[in-house]
């Protein structure tokens, strides 16, 4: 990855940008990002920072994808974050035994349960509808 400035005269500055194509380019881009991280917006370095961030994000999304979490693990994680117990979740989803079966993966989530979990725990539906 390389961003250079071509100066024919002081009025015409052009930024030469190349994609991040490999690990070496990626590491160089991260190094440069660290150097210009506090650049002010609407400056030459600010523009470079914005473009570099986009290139790094694209490279990371293509090369280091993050899978969605398991639905049940997402529920357990959110319960822990919110300080909820199984009995608290039973108030949302019904019987305590049903919650226990779901958390142990013996029972599948229904559409109604997914809606309630999405509303109550704010877990995205695309996480909750996955097979497990």
Q: Where are the domains of the chain?
A: 3-63, 71-128
Q: What percent of the chain has pLDDT over 70?
A: 89
Question: Which long-range CB contacts under 8 A does 62-65 form with residues at least 24 apart?
Answer: 63/26
Q: What percent of the chain has pLDDT over 90?
A: 76
Distance CA 86, CA 75 (A): 11
CB of 52 closer than 8 Å to CB of 3: yes
- Answer whether 0.85 is exceeded by the pTM: no
Q: Among candidates 51, 50, 32, 33, which has minimal Cα distance to 41? A: 50
pLDDT interval class at 124 (50, 70, 90): very high
Residues 6+ apart with CB under 8 A from 113: 93, 102
Residue 1, pLDDT > 60, answer no
pLDDT, the chain, mean: 89
**Domain 71-128's class?**
mainly alpha
Extract the tokens encoding 17: 């940008």
Write the pLDDT tens digit of every residue in 38-77.
Answer: 999 999 899 999 999 999 999 999 999 888 999 999 999 9
Q: Which residues of 63-82 are buried (b: 16+ CB within 10 A; e: fewer)?
A: eeeeeebebbebbeebbeee
């Amino acid at each position: 990855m390389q961003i250079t400035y071509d100066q024919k005269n002081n009025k015409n500055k052009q930024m030469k940008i190349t994609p991040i194509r490999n690990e070496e380019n990626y590491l160089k881009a991260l190094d440069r990002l660290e150097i210009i991280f506090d650049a002010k917006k609407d400056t030459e370095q600010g523009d470079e920072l914005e473009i570099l961030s986009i290139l790094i994000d694209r490279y990371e999304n293509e090369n280091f994808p993050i899978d969605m979490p398991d639905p049940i693990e997402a529920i357990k994680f959110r319960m822990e974050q919110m300080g909820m117990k199984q009995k608290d979740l039973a108030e949302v989803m019904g019987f305590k035994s049903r919650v226990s079966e779901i958390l142990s993966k013996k029972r599948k989530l229904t559409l109604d349960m997914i809606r309630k979990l999405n509303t109550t725990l704010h877990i995205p539906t695309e996480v909750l509808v996955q097979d497990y």
